[in-house]
Structure 1
Amino acid sequence: MTAPAAPLALRRYGASDAATLLDTLTDVWAEAHAGHDDVAQAGFTPETLRRQITGHARRDEFTLIVAYAAGQAVGIGYGFRCTPDYWFGDLRPAITAQARDTDSLAGICELAVRTGWHGQGVGTSIHAALVAALRTQWVSLLAMPGDSPARRLYDRLGYEYAGPYRVGDGPVLDLLLLRAGSATVA
């Protein structure tokens, strides 16, 4: 299903807005991941998203971008500046030296677009706004392994695979890394 052509408006929010927008963020995320059994099997649910956003909103420079069309939220993305130790954890020694030793790193935690809006540049626009707002040399994110539309987007944006990433007994995810100056427009 293709969404009607409507102008896209991106709005930037900070940590103080996260609690107010939590229901909207969860709704967009849930629709974007509906039918993705791998996401649910990995333990990612709307409730875990709510806890994740609430915890991350305490971080400095928490930045949230919401894409609106005709007044409806059609996509979301958020991230924050962080240290390589925080973001890469035990994988840090395997990361390229420039990213491993940088003091200019951002982690993008979520990027989700309602299904009717896939393929219309919403994810690319949100990503570009996040990268511009966070103003770092390096950007990293975690993705489900495999050939998904999200992973194809990250590849088009210029992300490179940095290694498998697991926190505790959680699922194995792909750690992706982008030198912000090398970001491309898909």
Structure 2
Amino acid sequence: MNDITLRRVKHGELEEVRQLLCDVYAEVYADKLDDPFFSVERFDERLTGHANRNNWEAVIGYEGDEPVGYAYAAALQPGARWWMYQLDPLDADFTEETGDRTLALFEIMVRTPWRGTGIAHRIHEDLLAQRGEERVTLLVDPRKKGVKRLYESWGYEHIGDQKPFPDSPLYSTMVRSLREA
């Protein structure tokens, strides 16, 4: 693999990369696109909702001009619904959001030719490096045991399960500390 460059995209710049993000999503999820929840249209709706937050940002990896993968996230705001879908409710102290307490990592994906190269970790860590939140949370399909183990190796802990949409799969909720509280 040649050198990978990373590009940071901030709130307000989504339209510059929307098609790229959707194209990579369609490639990565090609085997699931028949499921309405995983359709490109539904992904684009979720992307729009996530990117409308003024603290949204993405990191996109490129090899030359070729996109290899990306991750995007935004901080949870006061009253965020993120924690309300937990099957077993968490303590109110844990779920109280301030707007700068928890970063929600909404998507991280790498195209097949670059999987297993460490690029996912590099994109992930670059995204987190400039953030000021105390912790980061993400959802992972528990049936993807290898992916879940990978997140655990990056310092995430499984804290419960949730079903964020009526037609979504059940997800494991994971959290990693970013700094001392």
Report the TM-score, using the length of structure 1 for normalisation.
0.83
Q: Distance in 2 between the 1:180 and 1:125 partners?
A: 16
1:59 aligns with 2:61: no
1:176 aligns with 2:174: yes
Cα distance in 2 for partners of 1:164, 1:42 equals: 22
Amino acid across the alignment from 1:121: G
Aligned with 1:136: secondary structure? coil
CA distance in structure 2 between the aligned counterparts of 1:16 and 1:100, rounded to whole angstroms: 28
Cα-to-partner distance string for 1:119-176 (whole Å, 9 max, x where unaligned):
1111101111121233211100111121344323212111111211113413221111
Q: Tell me the C-alpha RMSD between the 2 structures.
A: 2.4
User: Which residue number in structure 2 is paired with residue 88 of structure 1?
Assistant: 83
1:65-104 alignment runs, 5 A limit: 65-83=59-77, 85-86=79-80, 87-91=82-86, 94-95=89-90, 99-101=94-96, 103=98, 104=101
Query: Residue 16 of structure 1: SS of its match in structure 2?
Result: coil
The answer to whether the 8 Å contact 2:85/2:164 transfers is no
C-alpha deviation, 1:57, in angstroms? 1.3
Residue identity over aligned pairs, in percent, reads 26
- For residues 169 and 15 of structure 1, what CA distance do their matches in structure 2 show? 28
Which stretch has the larger CA shift, 40-49 or 26-35? Answer: 40-49
Who is 1:27 aligned against? 23
What is the match of residue 139 of structure 1?
Answer: 136
Does the 8 Å CA contact 2:137/2:176 hold for their aligned counterparts? yes
1:101-112 → structure 2 map (5 Å cutoff): 101=96, 103=98, 104-112=101-109
Task: Label 1:40 to 1:111 Cα distance change in 2 as closer, same or farther (>3 A).
Answer: farther
Using the TM superposition, name which of 89-98 and 8-17 deviates more. Answer: 89-98
Alpha-carbon spacing, 1:99–1:127, altered in 2? closer, same or farther (3 Å)? farther
What is the match of residue 46 of structure 1? Answer: 40
Q: Distance in 1 between matches of 2:171 and 2:36?
A: 9
* Other structure's SS at 1:79 match: strand
Task: Name structure 1 gaps, 5 residues minimum.
Answer: none
Uncovered stretches (5+) of structure 2, i.e. residues with no partner: none
Q: Which structure has the highest helix share of the two?
A: 1
- Give the structure-2-normalised TM-score: 0.85
Q: How many residues align?
A: 176
| 2-structure distance, mates of 1:141, 1:124 | 14
Distance 1:149 1:9, change over 3 A: farther
